[in-house]
Amino acid sequence: MTGRRLLLALPLALAVATSAFLIVPVALSVLAGLSVNWQQGLAGGLTLHWIGEVWTLYADTVVRTLALAFATVAVDQLLGVPLAYVLARHPSRRARLVEELIMLPVAVPGLATALALIILYGGWHDFRGSSAFILVGHVLFTLPFMVRSVLAVLAAIDIATLEEGAASLGAGPMRRLLGVVLPNARPGILAGSLMVLTLSVGEFNMTWMLHTPLTKTLPVGLADAYASMRLEIASAYTVVFLLMIIPLLLLMQWAAPVRRRPRTTRP
């Protein structure tokens, strides 16, 4: 009996210790970001001074990061939704290959993709120095997530049969697209968009290589702050990042297409 007890207690202890390892530093960054002086700990009192300091130093990175994230979502929707539709309607070996191909920028470290972009397009100065250069990297990295999300929804509802039904009632291609395909794809587009927002807001590996001093994003600014700012400012900046990313994560949970439901219960 004690053996079974132990078999329960040990994993629970490990789970608690692991979550402590993951969460304690997050809590520390919040406390340090709000503390007057982290050397003195909480005894020194709490303040929003450092958050304000971060805002004066780095507000532009927050704005650029959000703008880039929404632009990435828009481009991904324009490129990814039609592609997902085609892949769902024409499942074939070629479709599998395309799916594999667009996955490559995720499977290969961002550093390699960024180097490749710089070597081929780095000479176009206006492009290299603009946020569009970063946008390209973000689109490459996030597009497969949009495509997969939409594809999963379209495949699950058997869009081909639905469209055939609409066509037999006389709906033309445009009508079917707007009246059948897009409304049915909406949960996938929503979940994909939130995923893409989250990934874009946090992207560092490519962005660090692609940015210029005039096109810094939030994670790039964070790396700067970690290297050169006092701990309170670095922490407060991290808090700003958490404030952006945690609502996105909660929204993602809320918008996730219901996956738990066993498929067999469907008639």
What part of residues 75-134 is at the interface with other proteins (CB under 8 A)? 78-80, 82-83, 85-87, 89-90, 98, 101-113, 115-117, 119-121
Query: Minimum distance from CB of 176 to other proteins (Å)?
Result: 8
22-30: long-range pairs with CB below 8 Å, 24+: 26/242, 28/235, 29/235, 29/238, 29/239, 29/242, 30/235, 30/239, 30/242
CA distance 184 to 161: 12
> Which of these segments, 52-60, 62-70, 165-173, 183-191, binds other proteins (CB under 8 A)?
165-173
Helices 131-156 and 93-107: angle between axes, nearest 10 degrees: 140
- Interaction of residue 198 with other proteins, rule CB under 8 A: yes
What part of residues 44-73 is at the interface with other proteins (CB under 8 A)? none
How many residues touch other proteins under the rule CB under 8 A: the total is 92
**Closer by beta carbon to other proteins, 187 or else 200:** 200
Q: Which residues contact 9 (CB under 8 A, 6 or more apart)?
A: none
* Biggest distance spanned by C-alpha atoms of the chain: 74
Q: Which of 39, 56, 228, 265 binds other proteins (CB under 8 A)?
A: 39
Query: Minimum distance from CB of 109 to other proteins (Å)?
Result: 3
- Interaction of residue 194 with other proteins, rule CB under 8 A: no
**Closer by beta carbon to other proteins, 15 or else 67:** 15
What part of residues 204-243 is at the interface with other proteins (CB under 8 A)? 204-206, 208, 219, 222-223, 226-227, 231, 234-235, 238, 241
Q: Which residue has the tokens 């499942």?
A: 91
Distances in Å between the alpha carbon of 70 and those of 67, 193, 251, 252?
5, 9, 15, 15
**Closer by beta carbon to other proteins, 46 or else 97:** 97
